């Protein structure tokens, strides 16, 4: 099985590659259309800023390619947000795979709820084969200031300031706001489940 990890000048890519290597997957970091199209699975990782990342994707026509891919596809962190329709981060139109808006956390009380949301938080209301073997209250690691609203595509939730989409699913597209590669055994299980789809 060949896994394409999409290169778009975002951070955190190496740790995703290491996580896939530990699971025995052959992964290649690429922004080449042919390599991505021919891969058995595609992972869209990332940390960074939405408009800069979208600019990179558009320069390489990946904004047109990604929504039309047919193989299992997994967006992570910024990858989840870019799969949505629009981000409040610099008022950025995104890829539109999920007709969901990405909004900025507004802390109700700075002392209680700091932004960005950094650290471990639990998943609940799990609804997908991607989450097979996990229980409500499984903990994953977050680093983000923006969140995807709840929708019919939400397959797990997390609460921080408010309930938001921890994971999304539509057709062959899956996405996770937390970082599976930094989430210990829970994250490893989610990546392993994705590789088995």
Catalytic residues: 77, 179, 181
- Cβ contacts of 160 within 8 Å, gap of 6 or more: 105, 113, 117, 121, 142, 147
Total residue count of the chain as it appears in this document: 197
Residue 196's CB: how many other CB atoms inside 10 A? 12
Selection from 124, 115, 162, 170 nearest residue 142 by Cα:
115
Selection from 173, 191, 174 nearest residue 182 by Cα:
191
Q: How far apart are CA 17 and CA 2, in angstroms?
A: 12
Buried b (16+ CB within 10 A) or exposed e, 156-179: bbbebbeebbbbbbbeebbbbbbb
32, 89, 102, 154, 175 from 53: Cα distances, Å:
16, 11, 15, 23, 17
Task: State the DSSP H helix or E strand holding residue 67, giving kind and residue range, or none if neither.
Answer: none
């Amino acid at each position: 099985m060949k896994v394409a990890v999409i290169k778009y000048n975002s951070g955190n890519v190496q740790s995703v590659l290491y996580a896939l290597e530990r699971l025995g997957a052959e992964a290649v970091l690429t922004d080449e259309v042919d390599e991505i199209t021919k891969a058995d699975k595609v992972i869209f990782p990332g940390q960074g800023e939405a408009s800069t990342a979208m600019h990179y994707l558009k320069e390489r026509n990946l904004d047109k390619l990604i929504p039309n891919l047919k193989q299992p596809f997994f967006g992570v962190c910024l990858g989840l947000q870019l799969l949505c329709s629009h981000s409040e981060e610099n008022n950025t139109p995104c890829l539109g795979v999920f007709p969901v808006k990405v909004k900025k956390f507004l802390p109700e009380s700075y002392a209680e709820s700091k932004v960005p949301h950094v650290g471990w938080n639990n998943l609940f209301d799990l609804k997908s084969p991607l989450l097979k073997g996990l229980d409500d209250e499984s903990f994953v690691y977050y680093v983000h200031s923006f969140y995807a609203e709840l929708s019919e595509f939400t397959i797990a939730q997390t609460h921080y300031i408010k309930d938001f989409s921890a994971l999304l699913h539509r057709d062959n597209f899956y996405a996770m706001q937390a970082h599976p590669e930094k989430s210990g055994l829970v994250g490893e299980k989610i990546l392993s489940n994705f590789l088995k789809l």
